[in-house]
Amino acid sequence: MRIQLRINGAETEADCWEGESLLYTLREKLGYPGSKNACEQGECGSCSVLLDGTLVCACLVLAAQADGHDVTTVEGLADGDDLHPVQQAFVDAGAVQCGFCTPGLIVATADLLQRNPAPSEDEIREALSGNLCRCTGYAKIFDAVRVAVGRV
C-alpha cells in the first residue's frame, strides 16, 4: 500500500505492507536512521518519535496508521546545523556512551520540556521511565535533562 507522511515537515510517500512498522519504514525505506531499533517490542524507547506531537514508540505504530499524519524524528529537532537545545545539552553533559538510546531519550526529553518546561526530579524520571539505556549511564542522562531545562 502507498502511504503519505509529513516527516519533519517534508511531504513524503512510501510503499509498505499492511503489517509494517513505522520504525521500519522510517529507517529502511525513507532514510531516517536516527530512531533506533533496539527491541521492536515497545520496551526500550530507542525508537521514540512524535506522531502529531504525541510521543510514541515507532516500533509499535503501523506505518499505515501514520498515513496522512505528522511525524517528527530526532533528525527533525535540529534547526539546520544548529542542534536542538536538548541535543546540545546531551553533548554538554557528556550523556552519550554507545549512543543507541540517545535519540529516543532526546525526543522524549524534548517532548517533556515542551509540555513541562520546569519538571521536578520525579517528573523527569517518570517522563523518561520508558527509555532504557543498556550502558546504564543514567546519572549523566539526568544531568543532561537538567542542563536542558531553561534552554528549551
Contact positions vs ligand FES (CB under 6 A): 37-40, 42-47, 57, 59, 96-101, 133-135, 137
> Shortest Cβ distance from residue 17 to ligand FES (Å)?
19
Q: CB nearer to ligand FES: give 80 or 148.
A: 148
> Shortest Cβ distance from residue 23 to ligand FES (Å)?
6
> Shortest Cβ distance from residue 137 to ligand FES (Å)?
6
> Shortest Cβ distance from residue 42 to ligand FES (Å)?
5
Distance, CA of 96 to CA of 93 (rounded, Å): 8
Q: CB nearer to ligand FES: give 134 or 150.
A: 134
> Shortest Cβ distance from residue 35 to ligand FES (Å)?
8
Q: In what order do the strands lie in the sheet with 10-15?
A: 10-15, 2-7, 70-72, 48-51, 54-57
Q: CB nearer to ligand FES: give 62 or 135.
A: 135
Q: CB nearer to ligand FES: give 4 or 139.
A: 139
Task: Look up cell 513524503; give the residue.
Answer: 12
Q: CB nearer to ligand FES: give 73 or 118.
A: 73
